[in-house]
Structure 1
Amino acid sequence: MYREKYNRLGERYEVLEIPLDRYFNPLRKKAVSLAQGRTLEVGVGTGKTLKYYPRNVELYAIDGSEEMIKIAKRRAKELGLTVKFFVGDVEKLPFPDNFFDTVISSFVFCTVPNPRKGMEEIRRVLKPGGRAVFLEHTISDSDLLNFIFLKPLDRILGYLIDDSTLRRTYDLIKEFFDVELEEKYYRGIVRLVVGRKG
């Protein structure tokens, strides 16, 4: 269902995110700066992260929405970037085992229908010693903030784009990767987590 919603949103998705860009874009830049070697971005969306990638990475990008991929391709062309784009889901990545040095996920796991399967797939396609970089919005450390802000927001986003702000993505990351870095922003609503495949 999320695919149809994102396909319908298309260009309007960028407009919806404008109020958040001033807070999230610096974090996107920081996350993407950690990419090395052959890199996959899962859930690339409209390609907001593309301009931040180091120029020496071999970049692959996948998203479940054909419309989002069209916009991201146009953005890559405008930036003069070579990116291999794919339409598909993180729960079933069309890549061989041990293929990537880095996998980037930027505000993706809030919409993944089966997040555990998504983590399994990211781990599968990473080389041993490869790094998975997650920038995700998750449930806050503050129960009060969860109650007065995230729960009402969760209902709205769930209806509009099958998005959940209340997931415990960090706990799931710890099950699949050795966590090397965790940074919390905005009372834990957003986390930057770097995990390594042992």
Structure 2
Amino acid sequence: MSFREKYARLGERYERIDGPLERFFDTLRRKAARFVSGEVLEVGVGTGFMLPYYSREIELHAIDAVPEMLEVAKKRAEELGLNARFYVMDAERLEFPDESFDTVVSAFVFCTIPNPERAMKELYRVLKPGGRAVFLEHTKSDCRLVNWLLLKPLDLFLGWLIGDNTLRETHRLVEKYFDVEHEESHYSGVVRLMIARKPEKI
């Protein structure tokens, strides 16, 4: 079963199952949202955990590959009064023109994308030169003990439940494509906040 099918089967129940864990990261979501401005693309919006923290001044375009999750996010955006549009779309094949956005956002998404490098290339493509990329991601820990005792068992469970990969080095992929301006490592690197830029054209 693909990750799309797994998330589709969860639908609104995802809030009850994963919500308590996701809310543990609300402080980091709030911090990440401070770096968001202009015309914004959020990939993998899910049920909209980032939405309460966005400024009402941004123009938000949010995508997700799972329509059932997107419907929950739409309702949340309406309740919050956000200027937002939602699209059923795959992060690996974005249907936007080159250099469309001032900011791109990914919050706990790259651990589930089947081909993360292809998705990173797409984010790079649709971001304007000099634009900002905001990543808040689960990543492989800097501590081997944490990887073996926590992340590997969690990887087996979450991989079965929602196709999640807790051992990806998304931070290395960000460094490959963007100029990192700020990075925070939390819980021995299990969670990282990265603020980066797409280089200006010469």
TM-score (ref. length: structure 2): 0.96
- 5+ residue gaps, structure 2, are none
Change in Cα spacing, 1:67 to 1:40, as seen in structure 2 (3 Å) is same
Deviation (angstroms), 1:194: 1.0
Look up the match of 1:40. 41
Quick one: distance in 2 between partners of 1:29 and 1:101?
Answer: 19
Conserved 8 A contact 2:56-2:83: no
Which digits, 9 at most, give the CA deviation of each residue in 1:108-157, with x for residues without a partner? Answer: 00000000000000000000000110000100011001001100000110
Deviations 1:143-175 (A, max 9, x none): 001001100000110011110000000111111
Amino acid at match of 1:163: D
Shift of 1:18: 3.2
Tell me the CA shift for residue 22 of structure 1.
4.1
**Pairwise CA RMSD of aligned residues?**
0.9
Given that 2:62 and 2:85 are in contact with CA atoms closer than 8 Å, whether structure 1 keeps it comes out as yes
Number of the residue aligned with 2:146: 145
Task: For 2:60, give the aligned amino acid.
Answer: L
TM-score, normalised relative to structure 1: 0.98
In structure 1, how many angstroms separate the alpha carbons of the residues matched to 2:64 and 2:4? 9
- 3-state SS of the aligned residue for 2:92? helix
State the partner residue of 1:54.
55
Q: 2:31 maps to what in 1?
A: 30
Deviation at 1:82, TM superposition (A): 2.2
Aligned equivalent of 1:182 = 183
Aligned counterparts of 2:57 and 2:20: Cα–Cα separation in 1: 31
| Residue equivalent to 1:80 | 81
1:123-138 equivalences in 2 (<5 Å): 123-138=124-139
Q: Does 1:157 find its partner at 2:158?
A: yes
Residue by residue, what CA displacement relative to the aligned partner does 1:52-111 show, whole Å, maximum 9, x if unpaired? Answer: 001111111000100000000011111122211000111001100000000000000000
What CA distance in whole angstroms lies between the structure 2 residues aligned with 1:80 and 1:58? 12
Shift of 1:33: 1.8
Letter in 2 for 1:48: F
Stretches of 4+ aligned residues off by more than 4 angstroms = none
Identity of counterpart residues, as a percentage?
59
Task: Report the Cα offset of residue 19 of structure 1.
Answer: 3.1
Distance of 1:177 and 1:95 partners within structure 2:
19
- Between the aligned partners of 1:180 and 1:60, the Cα distance in structure 2 is 24
The number of equivalent residue pairs is 198
Other-structure match for 2:121: 120
1:31 and 1:162 mapped to 2: Cα distance? 25
